[in-house]
Structure 1
């Protein structure tokens, strides 16, 4: 493999940005310094070079739902957004319930993934019911963590047993906190927008009641409990208190919950329909505060591609979920860093450095000699429009389409290979 040198970039090294060069050989970073040379040069003058972004929560839809997305298109979209590692949820068809199915899934990820794909295993068979999968066997077959994302685990006993099993296997258990009885077939947050549009609302307590239960079980079992897509101020408060008591809990927030609230839903537009739903302005502010004070650990997209048919028919009929891989960094940089709510360093921490720590990815999240050369180069000076025709995902279901943003991806390198180039 040829030597690549990234020249004149502003590089995040040891928590601070420095003007320096980065040399890449055989898939690894081999030197950081001035006046480095290689066979191929990437001019990163006036650009930032950061560790490749890591997304702890995506849906790649393969096998079984490839009209929405597949591994190749979903990981191309990730690279377009500056991501070099994504963690794929198990809500595919068939669900990888057993070691044989998990091996097939991981082989598909390796064959078709343009970036590194880490695979979740289901907690219970087919992501529903109470029959637990064999975590240890699934781990041996390639799974890195377990999650029933898309479904809340309704039984407290099943959750307790799953937490004990995850602890024994040293696996993170990532939970979609949702009490189905309280959720009660809602389609939008229970609030003013639901009333204005005459739609069935989803109360905040459908999330927080399960988080409260799960935190008690995590404290009892010592499990690494990871809360997916936190959306309410009460959830943030519960996690903050649990962390202060030493509970082994981490959590994620999505770009859309940080950047939007139910007040942004001005019509029956299903591009604003996601689960959990966009909550109140007060919830949105609590999420930003939680990210700033470290209660919320990471930003994950919950990239959920759908066909246009799936998203047709407004809130009442459309599928839950929006895409996120290609819009996350630029939207967050524009709306939070440019407005000085968040530092650039904090944003990169939440999108790369901390996910690497939480997910125990030893060879990512830092730019250091010897590390795997997973790198993203962004142009912060150039304004561009988020045009769906430019998306590399098969899906275009995004409320951010059409917005003008800063922070365009210039290049994404995975193991020293240029996977995306502007």
Structure 2
């Protein structure tokens, strides 16, 4: 590790401070002078934030390496300013026991771009019938603290209650994909005017809202922590507000695409806009933005879902669901929340760094930029603007809904444990990570 000083950067609260990093740790914050031979990064005009933490990333490995690997997904994360990602368990085989979660964690450590935290499945094979090895995964070397069957709902209330009880034992959290499956059979797009015009089977909002309400009551009865994945409807926001008023231990995330895009995007049958849960209406987007602004929704999570090109180049009904989003997350949040005046950068820091770190049990990552903190940092140029191309995507797949769109902001540098993974806007190669620079 090389000692270096970041000078002149603006922090999320609007103040300026220099930051000295040595040995992967922030050792000084204030008005600093560089020491002899010390590297200096002039960050005048740039914004310095703690590295982002994603609660919802699909890295596909093992089993889905044609779409993404832990290495390529980690590169995409670093390119987007992330220093920690939580890897969802819908892999082949499923991450439902110590063996697979330890494999994913080891692959993340080998890649070296970000801290890869595996999420364990709630049920064996994500089949929703038999509880997975929650305690064993929590006590494994991977130290799993989040459990989810994401991609599928834990629809059985008895299984969900038992999962909540076991999660409480290990101080973990159950992250629910809220979708009543009997209400979404054959569903293709939000149940509204656009789906009707296109002749697509509607996906009712109540399928999400009913599961959130049910699980909130189960969490209340068990005293356990519940996290709601990718909230997408105005009704879900109201259920969350009700649950939080009751003192239920519930948190929630929203994706950048649900803050920015609507079901109107689907009118051209472009399968890049096919996602689960589906894009909703403009009224839902407005409600989600307000809920993030008032912290009813706790965090932004990408639901980065890479697919090979052929999985999206088909008719709408046959196309895979999902979008890549790691590289563009903060750019979309800047457009949807900062430039609209709904959030300041300190609230972005809360929603994309400290709060998701708290939910995931990452004590150090939840701390602000201060002496003694691990140097997981991101430098952003908020004044930059560019039209997104595939060259801006660092992962293996390119199924981004933002290609060809102008987005604000640019990741200038990402530092993981004091080592630059992105520097000067350039993603560093694996043999450069952790070396002197």
Deviation at 1:330, TM superposition (A): 1.1
Deviation at 1:52, TM superposition (A): 0.5
Deviation at 1:341, TM superposition (A): 2.7
C-alpha distance 242-195 of structure 1, shift in aligned 2 (>3 A): same
Structure 2 partner of 1:384: 386
Structure 2 partner of 1:284: 285
Structure 2 partner of 1:375: 377
Structure 2 partner of 1:415: 417
Secondary structure in 2 matching 1:266: helix
Secondary structure in 1 matching 2:10: strand
Structure 2 partner of 1:86: 85
Structure 2 partner of 1:404: 406
Superposed CA offset, 1:381-419 (max 9, x none): 222221112210111111111111221000000000000
Structure 2 partner of 1:315: 316
Structure 1 partner of 2:340: 339
Deviation at 1:160, TM superposition (A): 1.1
Structure 2 partner of 1:103: 102
More displaced stretch, 31-40 vs 219-228? 31-40
Superposed CA offset, 1:189-240 (max 9, x none): 1111111111111111111111111111011001110000001111111110
Q: Summarize the alignment of residues 84-233 of structure 1 with structure 2, pairs less than 5 Å apart.
A: 84-141=83-140, 142=142, 143-233=144-234
Deviation at 1:165, TM superposition (A): 1.2
Secondary structure in 2 matching 1:382: strand
Tell me if 1:265 matches 2:262. Answer: no
Question: Retained in 1: the 8 A contact 2:70–2:104?
Answer: no
Q: Distance in 1 between matches of 2:413 and 2:300?
A: 21
Q: Distance in 2 between matches of 1:320 and 1:36?
A: 51
Question: Retained in 2: the 8 A contact 1:188–1:315?
Answer: no
Question: Retained in 2: the 8 A contact 1:182–1:203?
Answer: yes
Tell me if 1:9 matches 2:6. Answer: no
More displaced stretch, 233-242 vs 94-103? 94-103
Secondary structure in 2 matching 1:230: coil
Q: Distance in 2 between matches of 1:9 and 1:151?
A: 43
Deviation at 1:339, TM superposition (A): 2.5
Residue-pair matches, total: 419
- After TM superposition, the score normalised by the length of structure 1 is 0.97
Q: Distance in 1 between matches of 2:95 and 2:267?
A: 39
Structure 2 partner of 1:21: 18
Structure 1 partner of 2:434: none
Structure 2 partner of 1:70: 69
Q: Distance in 2 between matches of 1:296 and 1:123?
A: 23
Question: Retained in 2: the 8 A contact 1:166–1:172?
Answer: yes
Secondary structure in 2 matching 1:284: helix
Q: Distance in 2 between matches of 1:98 and 1:400?
A: 36
C-alpha distance 280-362 of structure 1, shift in aligned 2 (>3 A): same
Secondary structure in 1 matching 2:248: coil
Superposed CA offset, 1:31-65 (max 9, x none): 01113315211111100000001111000011111
- After TM superposition, the score normalised by the length of structure 2 is 0.94
Q: Distance in 1 between matches of 2:356 and 2:319?
A: 31
Secondary structure in 2 matching 1:380: strand
What root-mean-square deviation, in Å, do the aligned CA atoms of Structure 1 and Structure 2 show? Answer: 1.2
Q: Distance in 2 between matches of 1:122 and 1:306?
A: 21
Deviation at 1:321, TM superposition (A): 0.3
Q: Distance in 1 between matches of 2:403 and 2:263?
A: 18
More displaced stretch, 93-102 vs 144-153? 93-102
Tell me if 1:361 matches 2:358. Answer: no
Q: Distance in 2 between matches of 1:83 and 1:235?
A: 27
Deviation at 1:355, TM superposition (A): 1.2
Superposed CA offset, 1:160-185 (max 9, x none): 11111111221111010111110112
Deviation at 1:334, TM superposition (A): 2.4
Q: Summarize the alignment of residues 14-53 of structure 1 with structure 2, pairs less than 5 Å apart.
A: 16-38=13-35, 39-53=38-52
Structure 2 partner of 1:300: 301
Q: Distance in 1 between matches of 2:394 and 2:421?
A: 12
Q: Structure 1: which 5+ runs fail to align?
A: none
Question: Retained in 1: the 8 A contact 2:259–2:336?
Answer: no
Q: Distance in 2 between matches of 1:101 and 1:347?
A: 33
